[in-house]
């Protein structure tokens, strides 16, 4: 069985994936299609979109996702299996995700994102070497609540002896300090960040005052220009 690389959409490491490496098969999902040169990558073997058809048709066109109007047609053009909720007739290569089998294997229903479903399927099918590229689940964006589930399944893999690789660029399974044992380093780093924040707050306030003064000046000149325009119209005739 080849090594498996699951590809997500985080720009920090998506370009580090083993594209066209014959030792790897790639699984992609959702918006990855607009971020890689899919036509010139030979080792994608499966695609995943486990959302409803309504979501695929409508939500992905919104600015939040910006997949574009061509995503559905692109899915329909694929020759590799597309794992979905059902084998939808309008998707020629749709494959039903084995939900019942996965939930039987993982009775703890801790699935909050597509990556977790993909890792679970890889475990179910017996992959022994899994990598993640383009997956951060950064704590300050919409994926923050999804991150623990993804890390749970990574831990499950490592507990089962599955070789699991994450690039250093990924935010997953990262902590800047060892709890309890590195409190001094944590406190020093926190003090440094607070000092930096104070400095930036002061700069922001300074620039805000400059903006307000500039706006006041702009309003003054705008009023003066309106007076001149009135006098030109009222008193100066051609």
Domain at 110, CATH number: 3.90.1480.10
Do 48 and 88 belong to one domain? yes
So what's the pLDDT on residue 53?
Answer: 87
Specify the pTM: 0.79
Do 140 and 35 belong to one domain? yes
Q: Is residue 61 part of a domain?
A: yes
Q: Is residue 170 part of a domain?
A: no
Do 67 and 151 belong to one domain? yes
pLDDT tens for residues 172-181?
988 888 888 9
Do 211 and 116 belong to one domain? no
pLDDT tens for residues 133-171?
999 877 565 567 888 999 999 999 999 999 999 999 888
Q: Is residue 171 part of a domain?
A: no
Do 24 and 77 belong to one domain? yes
What's the whole-number mean pLDDT along residues 11-22? 94
Q: Is residue 156 part of a domain?
A: yes
So what's the pLDDT on residue 186?
Answer: 85
Do 191 and 149 belong to one domain? no
Do 191 and 107 belong to one domain? no
So what's the pLDDT on residue 109?
Answer: 94
Q: Which of 10-24, 49-63, 140-154, 221-235 has the highest mean pLDDT?
A: 10-24
d(CA 130, CA 25): 10
Q: What is the mean pLDDT of the chain?
A: 89
Do 122 and 141 belong to one domain? yes
* Number of domain units in the chain: 2
Confidence of residue 101 (pLDDT cuts 50, 70, 90): very high
Do 75 and 110 belong to one domain? yes
Closest CA to 49 of 30, 28, 34, 67: 30
So what's the pLDDT on residue 171?
Answer: 85
Do 143 and 30 belong to one domain? yes
- Cα-based torsion angle of the residue sequence 203, 209, 214, 219 in order, rounded to the nearest 10 degrees: 150
> Judging by beta carbons within 10 Å of its beta carbon (0-12, 13-18, 19+), is residue 190 exposed, middle or buried?
exposed
Give residue 78's domain range: 3-165
Do 157 and 131 belong to one domain? yes
Tell me what percent of the residues of the chain surpass a pLDDT of 70. Answer: 92
pLDDT tens for residues 211-220?
999 999 999 9
Tokens, residue 184:
């001094």
pLDDT tens for residues 54-68?
888 876 666 655 566
Question: 3-class DSSP state for residue 29?
Answer: strand
């Amino acid at each position: 069985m080849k090594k498996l690389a699951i590809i997500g959409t985080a720009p920090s490491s998506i370009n580090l994936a083993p594209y066209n490496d014959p030792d790897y098969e790639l699984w992609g999902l959702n918006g990855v299609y607009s971020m890689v040169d899919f036509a010139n990558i030979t080792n994608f073997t499966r695609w995943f979109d486990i959302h409803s058809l309504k979501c695929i048709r409508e939500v992905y066109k919104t600015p939040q996702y910006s997949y574009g109007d061509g995503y559905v047609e692109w899915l329909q053009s694929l020759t590799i299996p597309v794992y979905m909720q059902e084998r939808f007739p309008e998707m020629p290569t749709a494959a039903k995700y084995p939900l019942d089998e996965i939930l039987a294997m993982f009775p703890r229903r801790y699935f909050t994102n597509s990556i977790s479903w993909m890792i679970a399927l890889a475990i179910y099918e017996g992959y022994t070497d899994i990598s993640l590229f383009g997956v951060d689940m950064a704590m300050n964006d919409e994926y923050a609540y999804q991150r623990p589930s993804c890390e749970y399944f990574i831990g499950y893999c490592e507990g089962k002896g599955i070789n699991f690789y994450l690039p250093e660029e990924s935010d997953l399974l990262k902590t800047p300090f060892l709890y309890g044992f590195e409190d001094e380093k944590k406190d020093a780093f926190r003090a440094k960040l607070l000092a930096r924040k104070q400095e930036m707050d002061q700069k922001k306030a300074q620039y805000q005052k400059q903006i307000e003064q500039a706006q006041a000046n702009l309003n003054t000149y705008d009023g003066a220009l309106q007076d001149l325009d009135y006098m030109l119209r009222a008193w100066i005739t051609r």
